[in-house]
Amino acid sequence: MPYNRPMKNKTIAFVGGGNMGRSLIGGLIVDGYPPAKLRVADPDPHKLKDLTAQFGIEASANNRPSVSGAEVVVLAVKPQVMKTVATELAGSIAKHTLVISIAAGVRTSALHHWLGSITPIVRAMPNTPALVSSGATALYAADKVTPAQREVAENILHAVGLTLWVHDENLLDAVTAVSGSGPAYFFRLMEALEQAARAQGLAPQQARLLVLQTAFGAAKMALESGKDPGTLRSQVTSPGGTTERALRVLDEHGIERMIAEAVALATLRAAEIADQFGEA
């Protein structure tokens, strides 16, 4: 998504220079965002040194100076410390500054309580593949967010992968269960498939390479073919063939039921965590 001129003129302050903050900063710069318009605050001096050396951006150990005068503030801190950070920044963030929170489980109602009721807030739920610019991020905009601010938030998160909007904040719990936790599901499947390949006599390195490339290729086909996964599955499943026999075992063991139950329980847990960390 190309940046328009007004977007490039905005100063963006990141509070938190960990993996996700670093990924967003790096993605923005790779996409052409001016480093002079980016700031970062983090209490870790080693992170600040690395961020300055790698990206040439302004870095500080103090949150307040970093967000002062910024038109966009990205809160990239852990949910456990969000209340402390947001309360500290409440007097330093201008009333109409866009605040983007990527802390899982902290609801906009809590953020409004800490930052002020008129603060325009966007919640973003990225996943760990954002670290390699292949993330999937769901966004939710609170009432005070303008269309222009929605575009800014989408531009920022789009720097590390796909973005989409949800109309109901509660849907972010399901997003957490599907795309937030989803990489672990695929890693677990790859782990099991690799073990099965080794059990059939393939060398460990052969098994790993075959599994990883197959997973990559399947995802690429699903993304680029325009066909749904069911259609793609049927196209590689010849009647009476090896794939059909293998899939029959998965179906007999109730793979759809297991996945549905796993996602439902993960969604419930996401809501519980939101209650825990999102208390005002």
Q: Where are the domains of the chain?
A: 5-175, 182-273
- For 3-28, write each residue's pLDDT tens digit: 554 566 799 999 999 999 999 999 99
pLDDT above 70 covers a percentage of the chain that reads 96
Whether 278 shows a pLDDT value over 80: the answer reads no
Distance (Å, rounded) from C-alpha 193 to C-alpha 198?
9
Rg from Cα positions in the chain: 21
- For 199-255, write each residue's pLDDT tens digit: 999 999 999 999 999 999 999 999 999 999 999 999 999 999 999 999 999 999 999
Q: State the sign of the Cα–Cα–Cα–Cα dihedral 156, 162, 168, 173.
A: negative
Mean pLDDT of 130-158: 95
For 5-175, the fitting CATH number among 3.40.50.300, 3.90.950.20, 3.30.50.10, 3.40.50.720 is: 3.40.50.720
β-bridge mates for residue 161, sequence order = 135
pTM for the whole thing? 0.90
Whether 107 shows a pLDDT value over 80: the answer reads yes
Report DSSP state, residue 90.
T
Between 109 and 4, whose confidence is greater? 109
- For 60-85, write each residue's pLDDT tens digit: 999 999 999 999 999 999 998 999 99
List of residues 6+ apart from 7 with CB closer than 8 A: 151, 152, 155
First to last CA, the chain: 35
pLDDT grade, residue 104 (50/70/90)? confident
Mean pLDDT of 100-109: 93
Mean pLDDT of 54-59: 94
Task: Output b/e per residue, 70-102; b: 16+ Cβ within 10 A.
Answer: bbbbbbbbebeebbebbebbeebbeeebbbbbb
Looking at residue 105, what is its pLDDT?
A: 87
Looking at residue 4, what is its pLDDT?
A: 54
Report the chain's mean pLDDT, rounded to a whole number: 93
CATH architecture observed for domain 182-273:
Orthogonal Bundle (1.10)
pLDDT grade, residue 182 (50/70/90)? very high
